[in-house]
Amino acid sequence: MAVPDFQSIMLPLLEIFKDGEIHDSGELFESLTAKFNLSEEDRKELLPSGRQGKFANRVGWARTYLIKSGLLERIEKGKYKITERGLNVLEEQPDHINIKYLKQFPELMEFIGGKSPELEGGEETELTSKTPEEILESGYQQLKKELAQELYEEIRKNTSQFFEKLVIDLLVSMGYGGSRKDAGQAIGRTKDGGIDGIIKEDRLGLDIIYVQAKRWENKVGSPEVQAFAGSIEGHKARKGVFITTSKFSNAAKEFVNSIEKKIILIDGDALVSLMIDYNVGVTEANKYIVKKVDTDYFSEE
């Protein structure tokens, strides 16, 4: 089944502690994995940032809300136990526990500052099904998507010469091409049999990469990619990067996977994503740093 939202985890999580014993984080994770019949793929599903597992994040936030509501208590690092209030809640046999249910406890209201996502009519909304990290990341991904579209439109407005400059800036920002002067002398100068430029793979120039950049509207098909591969072969080279503002056909993708030469295809979506990641054509508007407790700092072992 799909990974449950963090509020759906609250009651099953609390029920693990009904024996009154201390349980650690590993036990909770394994017990809940079995409870929700999650597959290995479900367990490995990551948040959009790719830095944390979605299920682990949701288990953590379900536990946090139970602790802040006084139903669980932290005994020591990674170990927890149910409180008398928690046992009383289980005796009531609620059919579910969610934020709306927990708002009866003043400790939670103090924790959330009297504000929390509401469950209108007792029903869960998309917002309330997400943990704070997921809400933050979802907003970030939406902003990134809108920024990518704006970048793409700006590229389309400009000339082919500007596109060549953009390619230079991006490759240098990614660590290729040596200095920008070296890259500028290479890209857009050769126009040799399907090759738009030659760029150093590293600052020492231990290897070179052949580059082709096409500012196209239509899909780039296998004939164009095959011609580029042939040009690379003619120069007895091994590596190439084909960059376009449009898309590559499936045949083009299959072709590069079938040959010995290493050719990387970068389409319009990948291009603007790389521009964002390497700060090409974008400027920082705001920065939000999310911090967490460094538990190693407080360990005396």
114 & 227 share domain: no
* Polymer length of the chain: 301
122 & 220 share domain: no
Chain-centroid distance of CA 27 in Å reads 27
**How many structural domains comprise the chain?**
2
- Tell whether pTM > 0.85: no
131 contacts 58 by C-beta, under 8 angstroms:
yes
Task: State the Cα–Cα distance between residues 30 and 269, nearest whole angstrom.
Answer: 38
- pLDDT score of 268: 94
159 & 116 share domain: no
Determine which helix (DSSP H) or strand (DSSP E) holds 80, and give its type and residue range. strand 79-82
Domain-located, residue 244: yes
Q: Give the domain CATH number at 162.
A: 3.40.1350.10
* Single-letter code of the amino acid located at 171: L
Domain-located, residue 82: yes
Give the domain extent around 246.
149-277
Tokens of 20: 């009154």
- pLDDT score of 291: 83
CB-based contacts of 176: which residues, under 8 Å, 6+ apart? 183, 199, 200, 201, 202, 209
- According to DSSP, the residues that pair with 46 across neighbouring strands are 53
Q: Of 75, 99, 130, which residue constitutes the final position of a domain?
A: 130
Could you write out the DSSP letters of every residue in 86-113?
HHHHHHT--S---HHHHTTSHHHHHHTT
49 & 158 share domain: no
151 contacts 171 by C-beta, under 8 angstroms:
no
In terms of DSSP bridges, do strands 79-82 and 23-24 run parallel, antiparallel, or are they unpaired?
antiparallel
Q: Of 80, 99, 130, which residue constitutes the final position of a domain?
A: 130
154 & 272 share domain: yes
Domain-located, residue 102: yes
114 & 184 share domain: no
Domain-located, residue 288: no
- According to DSSP, the residues that pair with 239 across neighbouring strands are 262
75 & 191 share domain: no
69 & 178 share domain: no
The burial class, CB within 10 Å (0-12 / 13-18 / 19+), for 250 is exposed
| Regions of the chain short of the pLDDT cut 70 | 1, 114-128, 178-195, 203-205, 300-301
- Tens digit of pLDDT for each residue in 100-126? 999 999 998 888 775 544 443 344 444
22 & 112 share domain: yes
125 & 170 share domain: no
Task: State the Cα–Cα distance between residues 73 and 79, nearest whole angstrom.
Answer: 9
Domain-located, residue 293: no
- pLDDT score of 137: 83
50 & 108 share domain: yes
Domain-located, residue 15: yes
Domain-located, residue 283: no
Domain-located, residue 230: yes
Q: Give the domain CATH number at 82.
A: 1.10.10.10
Task: State the Cα–Cα distance between residues 123 and 128, nearest whole angstrom.
Answer: 10
157 & 264 share domain: yes
Distances from the Cα of 297 to the Cαs of 10, 73, 78, 267, 294, in angstroms? 29, 21, 15, 45, 6
